[in-house]
Amino acid sequence: MSFLTPLYLLAGLAVTLPIVFHLIRRTPQGRQVFGSLMFLEQSPPRMTKRSRLDNLLLLLLRGLALFLLAFAFARPFFRSHQESLAQEDVGRRLAILVDTSASMTHSDQWQRTIDEVNELLSSVSASDSVSLLTFDQQVNSLISFEDWQELPADSRQSTAEERLSELKPTQRRTELGDALIYAADLLAQNSERKISRRQIVVVSDFQEGSHWEVLRGYEWPEGVDIEPRIIELENTLTNATAHIIAATNANDKDLRLRVQSSKNAQSETFDLQWDRDHLENLEDPISDRSPSKTRVDVPPGQSKVVRAPEIEEGITAHKLLLTGDDVEFDNVSYVAPAAPWNVQILYFGDEDAKGPEGLRFFVEPMFPSTPNRQVTVTDWESLESPPDVNDPEITMTLIGTNCDEEQVNWLRDSIKSGRPAIFVATSVEQGSQIYDLLELSPSPVTEVTPEDYTMIGDVDLTHPALAPFDDPRYADFTKVRFYGFRSFDSNSFPDSQPLLSFEDGEPFLMEIGNRQLILMTAGWGRDESDLAVWSKFVPLMNGLLEHLENRVEEQPQLYVGDSLTPALLKSSLEEIWFQEPEDAPVRVTNDSPLVLEKAGIGMFAESKADLTEGNAHEIAINLHPDESRLDLVSFESLEAAGLPITSATTALLAEEESPESSRQLMNRELESRQRLWQWLLLAALIVLILESVISGSMQRRAGRSVFSTQS
């Protein structure tokens, strides 16, 4: 028999107490002040034979109860069971998380990481179960627990080291929180083997921008602790980084960047300049005062917004370099030069552009030119001769009047050739011409004049042109009123889709064919509707323009690690072809996204052929800005979020004591299984009850005898 807490047996010495009390019958009960002790003498404590004989049973019972209690507290258990248990090996369950994010590429960080992991692996004992995981934006398992178990014990470490040596840090950002949750869930799973400890060892630089915040809402499983192995950077490292914040177009003069400096930066002056390495005749370095170089002073820990330097002649503005800091990996910002987008709208109408009464007046304000887009509006009337139907310069037609035969023929050919058109039905007669243009059998068109006014009743927010309004803040279409419109039979158009409908269900805006023609059943003239003064009108028309032209004016910022889909690129296409820098084209759909791996200039197009033929759009892929925040994360905050972080030293101590602690653990387990203390406690209770009963009956007997003597 063994004891879990043998020191409690010392309490068994308390057994002697009742014996002592029992033998000394009269011990001083207290102190008594007395006038004078001159007539008194010291009386010796007395032991009486009588008391010993009378209460021997009680004495035994009391002693036994105390002894049982002491015995129970010492938590006894039988060793014989342990032999069978000892066969089972008890080891740690260890998840090693290796950071492979972009920040690990700095200097010798990666080599130090590998060394640290190798050292960790060498300290793993044969009974331990290990899973080697890498993490950046996602978690990859190099060796799972099952793999580890299957590997022969002597080749485990070498296999792990081998796999590790093949590993390279990626350019992705760090998602420490997700990785920890993944590992914790992995460890929390029940294992059939005996486990002495569940531990996650994180080998990382623990940078500030490691996105651990998700852990705040996560309930950390009990019994899983974290040991951070910090691959620390120099404390005085200067790291500055530039991120594009507005206008992603390199041609834009308003291209602005935020330059941010690390907290412990030693220098404050950094330079921004375009990459000139590809210049054939690389001249002398540009002088500090040149407009091709932007010098920026940023105090440590702060940021500043600056304009990009001017583009030198002969430079392809793709790479913007930042110099002046110690950390290289985040010093390049990629900017894609957007291809110029020229929109030429051929307007069919006879109104004067001067007054706000007609449609023409609003066309130019409706489609304004922007830095990325050049819009020209050409009136058919002003042309001396009809233009070539296949003229690629003319990108769209806008029909707002009754067309003559020549115009109808031209338009019919234009629509057939795939040039999009917007058809505004201003009257019944003019509206009927749409059938002619689309070569459909005519259906009756009626003029509708509501009693007072009508409003938009139904909006198809799933349509790409209206998708930007799909937000409770912008989805209010009740501000616009219509005083008259043309009613078309929607069944008369094959392949038509109403985008906006009036209250009575009649369509107001209809797409006919795929990007073929947009029909508006009411114009924006002031006598017909309030469209021209409606705040959503210009965004709506530009949305239609982008949809019809299948172009996006502003491309989103892409970061390494993002899952690329056509939707992310604001494309309404089902599938696109994307080519990452120095990589082969890949087909991307909304269901099979492409995870971006490399920073640089990517290209996308509608088809693979377009990509190879140079009809592709360029888009910049940059490192995630948070990856540049290299300052050490605050471990206090991590602990405050409920993470059980053990320092390396305590972990080391725990490791040193591991045989002892595992034996302890086994003992505890044995004891908790046998639970002998409960029986001992029960026995002590029974003895005490017995003692009470006996002493009670003895007292009663004594009382009776006194009574009888008195009587």
Which residues lie near other proteins (CB under 8 A)? 26-43, 45-46
Shortest Å distance, C-beta 50 to other proteins: 14
Measured from the CB atom, is 29 or 491 closer to other proteins? Answer: 29
Q: Given the structure tokens 């219509």, which residue do they identify?
A: 482
Residue 44 C-beta: closest distance to other proteins, Å: 8
For residue 710, the minimal CB distance to other proteins (Å) is 18
- List the strands of the sheet with 256-261, edge to edge: 240-246, 256-261, 303-307
**Which residues lie closer than 8 Å to 7 by C-beta, 6 or more apart?**
74
Pair type for strands 341-348 and 396-399: parallel
Instruction: State the nearest-atom distance from the C-beta of 39 to other proteins, in Å.
Output: 4
DSSP letter assigned to residue 505 = S
Nearer to other proteins, 29 or 649 (CB): 29
Neighbour-count burial of 453, counting CB atoms closer than 10 A to its CB (0-12 exposed, 13-18 middle, 19+ buried):
middle
Phi, psi of 603 (to 5 degrees): -130, 145
CB of 40 to other proteins, least distance (A): 5
36 or 710: whose CB is closer to other proteins?
A: 36
Cα–Cα–Cα angle for 382, 388, 393, rounded to 5 degrees: 80
By CB neighbour count within 10 A (0-12 exposed, 13-18 middle, 19+ buried), where does 644 fall? middle
In this complex, which beta carbon is closest to other proteins, that of residue 30 or of residue 355? 30
E strand residue ranges, 312-410 = 319-323, 332-334, 341-348, 373-379, 396-399
Nearer to other proteins by C-beta: 34 or 707?
34
Instruction: Write out the two tokens for 372.
Output: 């990325």
Classify residue 480 by its DSSP letter: -
User: Which of residues 24 and 246 has its CB atom nearest to other proteins in the complex?
Assistant: 24
User: What dihedral angle (degrees, nearest 10) is formed by the CA atoms of 231, 235, 236, 241?
Assistant: 50
Contact 316, 278 (CB under 8 A): yes
Least CB distance to other proteins at residue 20 (A) = 16
Is the CB of 31 or the CB of 473 nearer to other proteins? Answer: 31
Q: How far is the CB of 45 from other proteins (least distance, A)?
A: 8
User: For residue 170, which of 113, 120, 130, 215 has the smallest C-alpha distance?
Assistant: 113
CB nearer to other proteins: pick between 28 and 494: 28
Radius of gyration in angstroms for the set of CA atoms belonging to the chain, rounded to a whole number? 43
The DSSP letter of residue 370 is B
Cβ 46 to other proteins, closest distance in Å?
7
CB closer to other proteins, 33 vs 282: 33
CA 164 distance to own-chain centroid: 26
> Closest distance between other proteins and the C-beta of residue 22, in Å?
16
- Of residues 434, 427, 450, the one with CA closest to residue 502: 450
